[in-house]
């Protein structure tokens, strides 16, 4: 495979001319608003060893490799590389908690293995192949996150990565616009199960999740965990506490974390289960769980001035994750609590109903204040404070400063709630 030879001669793959390109294999990708083929001269100028382009005008350029479709070529290269190395791969998907669970699994497995993980949330048709192309012969195992907002996308990512193991965090009301319904979410996420089942590959799951039990009924091999004492689970754990942070018990030992909420208990349990499957000791698993500190606006506590503290969970949001985060937040000890919530995107026809249901549900709690940001929340029937943008909310917060208050900031990524100033 000519392209693979060029890849081996290079210092990795790049797709962005703003990054370091010297001696790399540069792919000219196309999108709705850009054409990477226009960057061939710049990529060569910045030292790319080879450029992969779909523009035939570069066929006479010695350092250019002309293909019909650069994204397809990148994906095929990644699959070939993955098969060449044969590294065990754990595929991870789900509606909520994918990235946190991925980080936990990595933190645990990396105690005993040279593990590789998806960086950030590069979990789509581009991010998955880029992750696979970071595999080396020194990599013992890889955790590959897979995201989707339309049917068929998980199936395609499985074709690219060819995983040996899989875990679905949960099925939630996310990306309803693309999936059409909650049933559509289940079918789409279950594409991972279908891929693994055809070759009898091992699936990790929670015995406490009735939907997962139903979908995997009669299938082997599986490896499961339970926080509720369900018979049949390979790993029996108990939730000792979730406030202020989660602590689990296993075999008479405590495993403490820096994460809050019952929903994160399942994420931690999954990482412990997978660690146990790969025969890690209890001590190694504990180091992995305790060593993970949330960052990047994911369940991250941030200390502010005037005694204020913020639970920043603004990386993404959907109805399921919103309710889980608010439930955990309201249980935290504080005399003064403020919600700052941004719109939940990609809900399609369900958007109005879901936003209205959320404001109705949170009205049952005695908040110090509730600030709603975005046009979807703006259309709800409520007496809570409403703002069109984070900038408008900041103006209110500057004019009405809080002290000794605990804040939850949560919304979809596009709402840019990290701009909130407290």
Q: How far apart are CA 422 and CA 419, in angstroms?
A: 10
Binding-site residues from annotation for ATP: 94-100
**Residue 64: enclosing H or E segment and its boundaries?**
strand 64-66
Beta-sheet strands, E only, within 231-299: 235-236, 238-241, 247-250, 253-256
**Each residue's pLDDT tens digit in the chain (422 positions)?**
789 999 999 999 999 999 999 999 999 999 888 899 999 999 999 999 999 999 999 999 999 999 999 999 999 999 999 999 999 999 999 999 999 999 999 999 999 999 999 998 799 999 999 999 999 999 999 999 999 989 999 999 999 999 999 999 999 888 888 888 989 999 999 999 999 999 999 999 999 999 999 999 999 999 999 999 999 999 999 999 998 899 999 999 999 999 998 889 999 999 999 999 999 999 999 999 999 998 877 888 999 999 999 999 988 899 999 999 999 999 999 999 999 999 999 999 999 999 999 999 999 999 999 999 999 999 999 999 999 999 999 999 999 999 999 999 999 999 999 999 99
Domains of the chain: 2-68 (3.40.1390.10), 74-291 (3.40.1190.10), 300-419 (3.90.190.20)
Q: How far apart are CA 161 and CA 376, in angstroms?
A: 37
Give CA separation, 116 vs 98, 103, 130, 309, 342, in Å: 16, 10, 12, 33, 33
Give CA separation, 374 vs 65, 392, 409, in Å: 46, 10, 13
Q: Where are the alpha helices (DSSP H) in 110-208?
A: 127-132, 153-161, 176-179, 182-189, 191-197
Those residues whose C-beta lies under 8 Å from the C-beta of residue 54, and which sit 6 or more positions away, are 28, 30, 37, 66, 67, 68, 69, 70
Long-range contacts: 196-200, Cβ < 8 Å, 24+?
196/91, 196/158, 196/163, 196/165, 196/166
Q: For residue 114, what pLDDT is reported?
A: 99
Binding-site residues from annotation: 94-100
Phi, psi (deg, nearest 5) at residue 28 = -90, 95
Strand 253-256 with 247-250, pairing: antiparallel
DSSP 150: S
Q: Which of 264, 210, 265, 202 is nearest to 234 (CA)?
A: 202
Q: How far apart are CA 156 and CA 78, in angstroms?
A: 13
Q: Identify any residues that bridge with 406 across adjacent strands, giving them in sequence order.
A: 309, 337
Q: Is the peptide bond before 335 cis (omega within 30 degrees of 0)?
A: no
């Amino acid at each position: 495979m000519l392209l693979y030879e060029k890849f081996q001669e290079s210092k990795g793959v790049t797709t962005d001319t703003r990054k370091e390109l010297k001696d790399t294999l540069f792919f000219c990708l196309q999108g709705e608003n850009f054409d990477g083929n226009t960057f061939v001269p710049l990529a060569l100028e910045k030292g790319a060893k080879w450029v992969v382009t779909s523009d035939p005008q570069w066929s006479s350029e010695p350092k250019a490799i002309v293909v019909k479709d650069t994204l397809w070529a990148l994906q095929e290269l990644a699959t070939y590389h993955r098969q060449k190395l044969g590294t065990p791969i754990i595929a991870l998907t789900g509606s909520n908690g994918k990235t946190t669970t991925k980080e936990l699994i990595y933190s645990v497995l990396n105690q005993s293995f040279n593990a590789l993980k998806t960086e950030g949330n590069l979990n789509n048709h581009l991010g998955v192949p880029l992750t696979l192309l970071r595999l080396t012969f020194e990599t013992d195992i890889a955790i590959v996150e897979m995201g989707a907002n339309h049917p068929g996308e998980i199936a395609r990512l499985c074709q690219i990565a060819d995983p040996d193991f899989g875990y679905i965090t949960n099925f939630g009301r996310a990306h309803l616009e693309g999936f059409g319904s909650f049933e559509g979410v289940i079918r789409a996420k279950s594409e991972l199960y279908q891929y693994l089942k055809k070759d009898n590959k091992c699936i990790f799951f929670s015995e406490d999740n009735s939907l997962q039990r139903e979908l995997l009924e009669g299938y082997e091999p599986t490896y499961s965990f339970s926080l509720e004492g369900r018979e049949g689970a390979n790993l029996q754990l108990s939730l000792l506490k979730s406030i202020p942070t989660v602590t689990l018990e296993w075999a008479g030992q405590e495993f403490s974390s820096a994460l809050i909420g019952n929903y994160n208990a399942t994420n931690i349990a999954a990482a412990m289960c997978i660690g146990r499957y790969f025969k890690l000791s209890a001590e190694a698993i504990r180091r992995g769980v305790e060593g993970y500190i949330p960052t990047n606006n994911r369940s991250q506590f941030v200390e502010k001035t005037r005694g204020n503290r913020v639970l920043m969970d603004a990386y993404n949001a959907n109805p399921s994750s919103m309710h889980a985060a608010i439930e955990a937040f309201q249980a935290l000890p504080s005399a003064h609590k403020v919600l700052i919530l941004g719109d939940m995107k990609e809900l399609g026809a369900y958007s109005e109903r879901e936003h209205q249901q959320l404001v109705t549900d949170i009205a049952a709690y005695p908040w110090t204040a509730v600030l709603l940001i975005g046009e979807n929340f703006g259309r709800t029937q409520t007496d809570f404070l409403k703002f069109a943008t984070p900038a408008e909310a900041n103006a209110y917060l500057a004019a009405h400063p809080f002290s000794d208050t605990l804040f939850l900031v949560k919304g979809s990524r596009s709402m840019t709630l990290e701009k909130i100033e407290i």
